[in-house]
């Protein structure tokens, strides 16, 4: 039995072709993280293309035919929390069946948000021309967005602050306590960031018995619903924030939203 032609137009035996396929498959399943990229690039830099006399397109066809995608990597993270199941059950239970006369808030911070301003004002979109924006910008420092998402109502209590310490966290907790009606208890779902467990934060909780913290398992930020809101907010951040002249203006805009 005969297989494919080589570059000189000579047929290669099927056995030889099978060996090439096996070799290319092996290379595809042993790609290193530093070598990943677009499939076209991966097949071009594949070291066996010249050595065995096959083209990058042949490499791509072999990988595709065997369901291999060496240019893709799926990240994962395993939690080592000894109380993983217990904590996750508690958090999910609050989402699915919140207590009566209570508000369940998913709370987190998004730090290092750049407050940028374009060097010149752009022109609005009109027929035959898209909106314009200068490629360069001016920096006005960074800010941290504190946000608490009401699980039932879908409303967000947000505030921007210059720094990300326990002092700012307590100030935001005071804001949350003022926003929530006094006759309702508050259940807060949050991660294990050290600021959330500071001794002064514990003191604040002792003075506000209607507020209860529920921590997600370690390495499980995905269990905090407000993370999804941050993910949706991020792609629009450059456009939504490019008119903020400084972090204080950003604070006022988020607080008024």
Is residue 5's pLDDT more than 80? no
Q: Do residues 186 and 103 touch, judged by C-beta distance below 8 A?
A: yes
pLDDT of 18-59, one tens digit each? 666 676 666 555 555 445 445 545 545 555 555 556 777 777
Number of neighbouring beta carbons within 10 Å of residue 189: 25
Strand partners, 143: 113
pLDDT of residue 205: 96
pLDDT of residue 44: 52
Arithmetic mean of pLDDT, 132-141: 83
Arithmetic mean of pLDDT, 131-146: 84
Place of tokens 């752009």: 122
- What would the two tokens of residue 183 be? 């006759």
Residue 109 sits at the vertex; the CA angle it makes with 106 and 112, to the nearest 5 degrees, is 160
Q: How far apart are CA 33 and CA 125, in angstroms?
A: 42
Arithmetic mean of pLDDT, 216-239: 80
The answer to pTM > 0.85 is no
Helix axes 56-65, 14-29, angle to 10 degrees: 80
pLDDT of 80-120, one tens digit each? 999 999 999 999 999 999 999 999 999 999 888 877 778 88
The overall average pLDDT reported for the chain is: 78
Do the bridges between strand 137-150 and strand 156-161 make them parallel or antiparallel, or are there none, so unpaired? antiparallel
pLDDT of residue 135: 84
Q: How far apart are CA 234 and CA 240, in angstroms?
A: 10
Q: Order of strands across the sheet with 185-190?
A: 156-161, 137-150, 102-118, 185-190, 211-215
Boundaries of every domain in the chain: 2-65, 84-256
Is residue 238's pLDDT more than 50? no
pLDDT of residue 65: 81
pLDDT of residue 252: 55
pLDDT of residue 30: 55
CATH fourth-level superfamily of 84-256: Ribonuclease H-like superfamily/Ribonuclease H (3.30.420.10)
Do the bridges between strand 102-118 and strand 11-13 make them parallel or antiparallel, or are there none, so unpaired? unpaired
Arithmetic mean of pLDDT, 176-198: 94
């Amino acid at each position: 039995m005969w297989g494919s032609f080589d570059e000189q137009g000579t047929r290669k035996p099927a056995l030889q072709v099978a060996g090439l396929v096996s070799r290319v498959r092996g290379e595809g399943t042993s790609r290193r993280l530093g070598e990943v990229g677009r499939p076209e690039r991966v097949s071009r830099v594949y070291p066996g293309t010249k050595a065995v006399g096959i083209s990058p397109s042949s490499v791509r066809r072999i990988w595709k035919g065997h369901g291999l995608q060496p240019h893709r990597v799926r990240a994962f993270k395993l939690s080592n929390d000894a109380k993983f199941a217990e904590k996750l059950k508690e958090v999910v239970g609050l989402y699915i069946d919140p207590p009566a006369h209570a508000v369940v808030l998913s709370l987190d911070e998004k730090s290092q948000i750049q407050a940028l301003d374009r060097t010149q004002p752009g022109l609005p979109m009109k027929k035959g021309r898209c909106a314009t924006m200068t490629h360069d910008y001016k920096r006005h420092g960074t800010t941290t967005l504190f946000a608490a998402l009401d699980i039932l109502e879908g409303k967000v209590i947000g505030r921007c602050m210059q720094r990300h310490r326990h002092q700012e966290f307590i100030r935001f907790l005071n804001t949350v306590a003022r926003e929530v009606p006094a006759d309702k208890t508050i259940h807060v779902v949050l991660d294990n960031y050290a600021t959330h467990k500071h001794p002064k934060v514990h003191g604040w909780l002792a003075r506000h018995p209607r507020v209860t913290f529920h921590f997600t398992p370690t390495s499980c930020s995905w269990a905090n619903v407000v993370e999804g809101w941050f993910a949706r907010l991020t792609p629009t951040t450059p456009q939504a924030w490019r008119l903020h002249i400084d972090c204080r203006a950003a604070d006022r805009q988020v607080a008024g939203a």
